Amino acid sequence: MAMETTLPGREHAVGVLRRELDQTLASHGGLVLVTGEAGIGKSTLVTDALAWARQENALVATGACWEHGGAPGYWPWTQVLRAVERSAPATCLGDPPDPMLCRLLGDDDTPVPARDGHAEFQLADAVTSVLVRASQYRPVVVALEDLHWADPASLRLLEFAAAHTWYEQVLVIGTYRDDEVEAGDHPAQAPLSTLATKATHVALSGLDEAAVGELYVSVTGHVPEDALVAEVRRRTGGNPFFVEQTARVSGPGDSLGVAAAGLRATLERRLSLLPDEVRNVLALASVLGTDFPIGLLVAVDGRPREELREWLGIAGRARLLYEPEPDRLAFSHELVREALYDALDDKEARRLHAEVVAAIEQAPHLARGAALAELAHHACRAYPEIAHDRALGHVLAAAREAACRLAFDEAIAHYVLALDKEADPGCPALAVEPSTRGKRAQVTLELAETRQHAGDLAGARRAYLDVVATARELGDPRLLGQAALGIHELGSSEDDWLGDLALLEEAREHLEDGVVTDPLAVRLMSAVSRVRHHWSASVADNRELAARALELARDAGDDHTLGFALLARHDAIWTPGTADERLALADEMRVVAHRRDDTDLDLQGSLLRMTALLERGDPRGLREHEAFVAATDRSGLPRWRFVAQSRQATLATLQGRFDEAEAHLEAARELGGHLGEVDTVHLWQAQRFELELLRGRFDEAAAVLDTLESPHGLSAFDAAKLAVNRGDATAALGHLEAATLEAASLPGEFGTAGLRLMAQLAAASGESERCEQARAALASVIGDWGMQGAAAAIDGPLRLWAAVIDTAQQGFDEAVEGFAAAARAAERLGARPWIAEAWLGEAETRLRRGGADDAEMAARLLASVVEEADDLGMAHVISRADVVRASLGTVSSTDAPSPRESSDRRTGQFRFDGQVWTLGFAGVTVHMGDAKGLHDLQTLVRHAGSQIQAVQLANPEGGAEVEASRRLGGDAMLDEQAKVAFRDRLTELDEAIDQATTAHDDRRAAQLDAERQTLLDELRRATGLGGRTRRLGDEAERARKTVTARIRDVLRRLDHRHPPLAEHLRASVSTGASCRYDPTEGVAWTF
């Protein structure tokens, strides 16, 4: 059945929507955005498309945004969920339904506890999952009208849903007025621009004269003169709504001048033709909104429903109202509602809004499923017709409920309205009066907390400081303590930490007056300990204070306070060598976080767990990093997304993915700047400095150092670090004394960074006493990695720096073993730059030692160093290696066995721990990152001597389908003659479409475009990449090529990482349609 439209001149747009709908019904959906000015026909086009989708048995769910307030956050999605609930199996909402979905649907009047983090991601995931589950039963088409009025959270949910349903049978259609969005600083401009890049765009413009004439005939029933049509087209710009309204008020013999001069006059004339009773009912309806429940209109009006239905029926027949769903009415166009509402004088409008408030208060179910937001909207506009406290109470209730739903943008808008008289011209003087300072401070405190959750840290700090000032004036210690803790959670900079500490101490002093066990007092005690730890050197006092706070928190039995105290204790003991104890505290934090559903604390615990594991060189730290990043994405919390971006930069730097690290650094800086994170600039500078040092771009590192704003005044420390890594020992030693003093002042979490630099400077100095001191400092943490803060940067395996000292003191045997151990440690973490550094150090040391086979082993190491450094882009390492290789003379790097090779070639190891591969053969063990080719090889090695089909390796889970594809024949699905005919017709169609478009013949262009799309779909179905004829057995051929390429890629990597294993596998593995591992001599593999 063809899809038709009730509006002439829209054939091309209909064709585009039809193709998108066909695609959704057949395979997968997408996102379509229909744009144009008010009245251009967006709603008509989409309504026709939805009607056709219903005929094709699609589940249709619609939602509309509303401009004038009162609608809660996520309002369009609430409407969509209701439609799905009515039309899809109950299981689509989950079993049991997610509490957040129930709250959006209005099925649960109890507040959903704020979860400090599951935030938008959890809600977006829940809504998207509903759509995906519904699409398993039948295709789903979602239509969202008037996105230019959408709240920010709804637009973010749209972006999420569109991205996560792309391969499902879910089509999302959105409409918005692009002329409004693109003009000025519209709040929806950025999100809609982003969405537009991922969507099919249908841009509607004015009708041409032919279409205007058709529409005129359909409205009036007579054919107008050409001159009248031209004049209507000129006056209305071809806007269908304007054309229709103009046609309705002009008679058969009228000229356009007899009709209304403008649309507003047109609407007023049309309304004036209605009975007074109908106009009065419509005026009341305009107060309720663009669409409204009939029950609410009846309750406010007071007359019997049957009587009202009579008047509403007249409005419906005049096409001013329509019924989008049972028991709901909507204006045919927002312009109609605006004309009615604007005709009310201020006093009458306030009276009607007050009557709506009274009706909803008495029967909340009459509201649109969000009674609190609805009440707040009408209460604002009813004041002073209703009492100040009554109106304000509704606004605050709506704010708290919105925050509870994690709709922070909506909540902030309500709070601002309650505090600022200028926030809404329609609600003058509604704000909390300054005379009620205590109440105003409590509302401001709630606003600060909400801004903090929303990621507006600068706004949150300003609000907290307002509360501090009021608390001091009122002498309210609890209010002061709450504000002080809020400021503390925002983080302190070098400029304001002393003030923040003084504020915490002040609040603690007033609150602890005889009540030390008060949970708020314990949290203040914990906060004081943390600030002192990070910004002062009173380690012993901090540890004692944190220990006392933890003891009191455990006695209090309050998980919120316990979480604070665990974090304080963790930080207080944070010095080199405490990773295991800190790991236990981080794990307990997460237990507490799960008990109280505190995502913020859970993420904090995950970050600190990752840090402790990486500090110990434990590969589980890599998996914890992945889990941490995924959890931050799920949380939707902006601050934690900033932290995750910066730590992704850390891990990318560690593993030599330097370009990726740089991209993460820039993303973190941009996000942190947007949020107002206090350490954004310093963190970026510090991480960028370490990145440039590791990849050897010392001039760039120096440029960063010139602007580095170290919070601990480490000018000499950083200058010495740059010089010693640059190989400028003289300059480095020039900073020796000052850098040593600065290293001693570092907070505990930067202690290992100090150990690294002290080891490098000691080795550069060659002073025996200084070397012994540096070695002694490293002794207790020799197996750890250098760590800066919570994995902000990683300073390499500490064994490496101990080996540097050993080499400087000519302890060559210890140094060789130390460098080898450092390389093994780096291999476990996939830290390729540090592997290269360790190999280079070992090669240099072996040449200095000059023992048997040292030159040959050094040559082999140097070859691997150059290969690895070249792949990573570490030119400075290659330069150092070339200097060392110059002293080798004629020794060939291929003449000698690997330095760790042994004669035992009868055992092997091929083990994967989920993150890193451990490959052992011929006495040599290496660690490699994951690759599909390694899985292929492991499967072959496990089944030595057996033929394994390539399709099974390429798709291990394919089962019977894989085996079937192996046996299928090779008949072509489309012969060459047919393909030539297809392509000739496509060429003809392209030329015809161009001609139709040039002639502005949209109908002809749409017809030709539809035929072209049908041919393309058929051609794509029958051909593969590059137009190659697809055959029934192509799956096997693709699998052969894929598996062969994967195995060859791994063997090339093993040539450099483990030559004996590469040689063995290359000689023993055959690839093709079937693959086989068949060694000439048996190997005892362990997996």
Strand 948-949: give its sheet, edge to edge: 948-949, 1074-1077, 1069-1070
- Indicate whether 195 and 235 sit together in one domain: no
> How far, CA to CA in Å, does 381 sit from each of 417, 430, 477?
12, 10, 37
98 and 159 housed in the same domain: yes
Distance CA 772, CA 805 (A): 9
Where does the pLDDT of residue 666 fall: very low under 50, low under 70, confident under 90, or very high at 90 and above? very high
Can you tell me the distance from the alpha carbon of 146 to that of 40, in angstroms, rounded to the nearest whole number? 13
Domain annotation covers residue 997 = yes
CATH number at residue 135: 3.40.50.300
Q: Which of the residue ranges 127-141, 321-335, 706-720, 752-766 would you say has the lowest mean pLDDT?
A: 706-720
Q: Is the pLDDT of residue 366 over 80?
A: no
Phi, psi of 909 (to 5 degrees): -130, 130
Q: Please state the pTM of the whole predicted model.
A: 0.61
Angle in degrees, CA 797, 801, 802, rounded to 5: 105
Select, from the ranges 114-118, 717-721, 979-983, the one with the highest average predicted confidence (pLDDT).
717-721
CA count, 13 A, side-chain hemisphere, 839: 30
Count of other CB atoms within 10 angstroms of residue 895? 11
Q: DSSP letters along 941-963, please?
A: HHTTT--EEHHHHH-TT-THHHH
Widest pairwise Cα distance in the chain? 113
Tens-digit pLDDT profile for residues 523-535? 998 888 888 877 6
Element at 907 (helix H, strand E)? strand 907-912
Q: Tens of pLDDT along 772-783? A: 999 999 999 999
Average pLDDT over residues 676-702: 90
Examine the pLDDT at 1073 and tell me if it is beyond 50.
yes
In the prediction, which pLDDT does 422 show? 59
- The percent helix, strand, coil of the chain (3-state, each to 5) is 65, 10, 25
Same domain, 103 and 241: no
Greater model confidence, 629 or 951: 629
Q: Give residue 255's pLDDT.
A: 43
pLDDT given for residue 834 in this prediction: 96
Do 49 and 133 lie in a common domain? yes
Contact of 814 with 805, CB cutoff 8 Å: no
Phi, psi of 1016 (to 5 degrees): -60, -45
Q: What mean pLDDT value characterizes the chain? A: 83
Amino acid sitting at position 147:
L
Q: What is the 3-state secondary structure (H, E, C) of 616-668?
A: CCCCHHHHHHHHHHHHHHHHCCHHHHHHHHHHHHHHHHHCCCHHHHHHHHHHH
Calpha distance 492→499 (Å, rounded) = 9
Print the domain residue range for 1014.
932-1086
3-class SS at 240? helix
Which of 541, 573, 605 is at the close of a domain? 573
Confidence band of 899 (pLDDT split at 50, 70, 90): very low
Q: Is there a domain that residue 428 lies in?
A: no
CA-based angle 450:454:459, to the nearest 5?
70
What pLDDT score was predicted for residue 113? 40
Report yes or no on 528 lying in a domain. Answer: yes
982 touches 1015 (CB < 8 A):
yes
- Two tokens at 282? 């419509």
Q: Specify whether 249 is located in the same domain as 156.
A: no
Contacts of 748 (CB under 8 A, 6+ apart): 533, 539, 573, 574, 575, 576, 578
Please, are residues 911 and 918 in contact by the beta-carbon 8 Å criterion? yes
CA-to-CA distance for 486 and 492, rounded, in angstroms?
11
Query: Which one has a higher pLDDT value, 943 or 96?
Result: 943
Rounded (10°) angle between helices 579-595 and 599-615: 160
Q: Sign of dihedral through CA atoms 453, 456, 457, 459?
A: negative
CA distance 476 to 439: 12
DSSP class of residue 149 equals G
**pLDDT, tens digit (0-9, with 9 covering 90-100), for 1016-1033:** 666 555 544 334 444 444
pLDDT band per the 50, 70, 90 thresholds, residue 111? very low
What CA dihedral angle connects 648, 650, 654 and 660, to 10 degrees? Answer: 50
Alpha-carbon span 670 to 898, nearest angstrom: 46
Measured CA to CA, the distance from residue 245 to residue 256 in angstroms comes to: 12
Cβ atoms of 585 and 577 within 8 Å: the answer is no
Together in a domain, 199 and 219 = no
Length reported for the chain: 1087
Encoded amino acid at 391, one letter: A
Q: Does pLDDT of 836 surpass 90?
A: yes
Please give the radius of gyration of the chain, using alpha carbons only, rounded to the nearest integer.
36
Q: Does the pLDDT of residue 905 top 60, yes or no?
A: no
**Both tokens assigned to 605:** 């615990």
Which of 144-148, 244-248, 1083-1087 is predicted with the least confidence, judged by mean pLDDT?
Answer: 244-248
Contact of 836 with 875, CB cutoff 8 Å: no
Of 1030, 1028, 914, 1027, the residue nearest 968 (C-alpha): 1030
Residue 8 CB contacts under 8 Å (≥ 6 apart), including other chains: 207, 210, 211, 214, 215, 218
Q: Which residues contact 498 (CB under 8 A, 6 or more apart)?
A: 535
Last residue of a domain, one of 550, 573, 596: 573
Q: What is the dihedral of CA 982, 983, 985, 991, to 10 degrees?
A: 160
pLDDT at position 537 is 53
HSE of 617, CA atoms in CB hemisphere, 13 A: 23
Contacts 24+ apart (CB under 8 A), 720-725: 720/757, 720/761, 721/693, 721/757, 721/760, 722/693, 722/698, 724/757, 724/760, 724/761, 724/764, 725/693, 725/698, 725/760
User: What residues contact residue 849 under an 8 Å CB cut-off, 6+ apart?
Assistant: 812, 813, 816
Q: Is the pLDDT of residue 448 over 90?
A: yes
Task: Examine the domain organization and report whether 1036 and 960 are in the same domain.
Answer: yes
Residues 182 and 261 in one domain: no
Q: How far is CA 850 from CA 135, 766, 819, 889, in A?
A: 71, 21, 16, 13
Distance CA 700, CA 666 (A): 15
Say how far apart CA 829 and CA 791 lie, in whole Å: 14
H/E element holding 272? helix 263-272
The pLDDT assigned to 964 comes to 46
Six-digit token pair at 793? 């940067």
Give the long-range contacts of residues 603-606, CB within 8 A, separation 24 or more. 603/117, 603/628, 603/631, 603/632, 603/635, 603/637, 603/640, 603/643, 604/567, 606/631
Tell me, yes or no, whether 82 and 165 share the same domain.
Answer: yes
Which of these three, 203, 218, 242, is where a domain ends? 203
Q: Which residues of 19-45 are buried (b: 16+ CB within 10 A; e: fewer)?
A: bbbbbbbeeebbbbbbbbbbbbbbbbb
Same domain, 112 and 260: no
Segment 519-546 shows an average pLDDT of: 80
**Share of residues in the chain with pLDDT > 90 (%):** 33
Q: Which residue from 23, 50, 56, 60 is spatially nearest to 168, judged by alpha carbons? A: 23
Instruction: Give the number of domains in the chain.
Output: 4
Q: What is the pLDDT of residue 980?
A: 62
End-to-end Cα, the chain, rounded Å? 59
Exposure pattern of 719-744 as b/e (b: 16+ CB <10 Å)? bbbbbbbbeebeebbebbeebbebbe
Tens digits of residue pLDDT in 22-71: 999 988 889 999 998 888 889 889 998 999 999 999 999 999 987 766 67
Instruction: Report the run of H or E that residue 788 belongs to, with start and end.
Output: strand 785-788
| Phi and psi, residue 288, nearest 5° | -75, -30
Is residue 794 within a helix (H) or strand (E), and if so which, with residue range?
strand 793-797
Calpha distance 299→292 (Å, rounded):
12
Are residues 946 and 1061 both part of a single domain? yes
Q: What is the rounded distance in angstroms from the CA atom of residue 633 to the CA atom of residue 617? A: 26
Helix (H) or strand (E) holding 920: strand 916-921
Average of per-residue pLDDT across 535-541: 62
Quick one: pLDDT at residue 367?
67
Tokens, residue 146: 């008037």
Residues 147 and 63 in one domain: yes
Band (999; pLDDT cuts 50, 70, 90): low
Establish if 1042 belongs to a structural domain.
yes
Q: 294-303, 434-443, 805-814 — which is least confidently predicted?
A: 434-443
